[in-house]
Structure 1
Amino acid sequence: MGEENRPILTRIVLDVLKPHQPSIIDLAKALMNVSGVQRVSIVISEMDAQTETTRIVVEGRGVDYERIAKVIEELGASIHSVDEVEMER
């Protein structure tokens, strides 16, 4: 199968629990530095004394899920679930 026929990840929606710091702006900037990422959207759906539950949408051509997960974990957050995925050829 040629490279042009390989499915690529173009959109992923994640449920992520993160500490209050870094801010969602800093988290979005860090995710934008991942190769292939063209757009990041983060919404805080719940907040308590120490954490924020967020919905993170990452879009691009050939998004690398493993690298996205690594960046999120390096910033002290954890992925609770992958809620949506879009792939194309």
Structure 2
Amino acid sequence: MEYTLMTHIRRLVIDVLKPHEPSTLEFAQQVSEAESVAGVNASVIELDREVQNVKFTIEGESIDYDTVEAIIEDAGGSVHSVDQIACGEYIVEDAPTPQD
């Protein structure tokens, strides 16, 4: 059985492996220019001699993941993992649980 997913991605949190150049500022600006992206938050998580791990939190009404991934790859980076995704009519914030 095949399922077709037709929902809007509102928030996307991804771990990106990127070279030092372009800078994180330039990288974030490039991602923010995607038509489906309303805002981007970029935080450097880890830094070594050749690459950086950057956490990108991206929000929009209907984020086009393929476009975001293509922009990242065109700038020399790669999506290491998708760490959070929020879909639907609105963003549901995580509720605290006893494990937190």
Q: CA deviation at 1:36?
A: 1.8
Q: When the two structures are superposed, what TM-score results if normalisation uses the length of structure 2?
A: 0.81
What is the CA–CA distance in structure 2 between the aligned matches of 1:42 and 1:14, rounded to whole Å? Answer: 10
Other-structure match for 1:3: none
1:37 paired with 2:18, answer no
Aligned residues: 84
- The CA RMSD measured in Å over matched residues stands at 0.9
Other-structure match for 1:55: 55
**Equivalence map 1:9-88=2 (5 Å):** 9-88=9-88
If each structure's strand is expressed as a fraction of its own residues, which one has the higher value? Answer: 1
Q: When the two structures are superposed, what TM-score results if normalisation uses the length of structure 1?
A: 0.90
Amino acid at match of 1:25: L
Of all paired residues, the percent bearing the same amino acid is: 32
4+ residue segments displaced more than 6 Å: none
Q: CA deviation at 1:13?
A: 0.5
Unaligned residue ranges in structure 1 (runs of 5+): 1-5
Between 1 and 2, higher relative CO (CA 8 Å, sep ≥ 6) is seen in 1
Moved more, 68-77 or 28-37: 28-37
What is the CA–CA distance in structure 2 between the aligned matches of 1:36 and 1:47, rounded to whole Å? Answer: 29
**Higher Rg:** 2
